Structure 1
Amino acid sequence: MVWAAWAGRPQREETDRTGAAYEKFAAAIVREHPGAGRAGPVAARDRSTGIAVRPSRSGTPRPSGQDGTRRSA
């Protein structure tokens, strides 16, 4: 239904295809992009292994009397 609505939409009027519009387009294409000389920020990417891993808790102090092992009741 979305495609049918899109296909049945009112068509645009003829676009401006004059020589002045073409010259404006050509000048914009030739002009250098403002951000071309700058390096973008480097994103730190984690290597995905497909396995969910909980973050380490090695930096948090443990309450006294617990050695880190888990026991069932």
Structure 2
Amino acid sequence: MEILLWLVPSAVVAVVAMTWVSWAGRDGRGEVDRDVAVERLGRAIAKELPAGTRRTSAPARDRSTGIAVRPSHGAAPGDGSARRAS
């Protein structure tokens, strides 16, 4: 039990820090009236964006089948040279 006494100072510091943060942060947010917040949101939504910043939908991706197909190099279709006996 005595070996755990070295934890006491750090626990006290942690509790004091948590208490101070909860006390210091309680009124620091500055509450905004609900009607004012709704008005600000409405103005922000109605605001026109510059032409270059409009979002477009993501392009449709090709669906992969999971099969890799290697192109034949220099072989004409139908002459059988693309397949080699191994």
TM norm. shorter chain > 0.5: no
Q: Higher helix share goes to which structure?
A: 2
TM-score scaled by length of structure 1: 0.37
**Bigger Rg over Cα:** 2
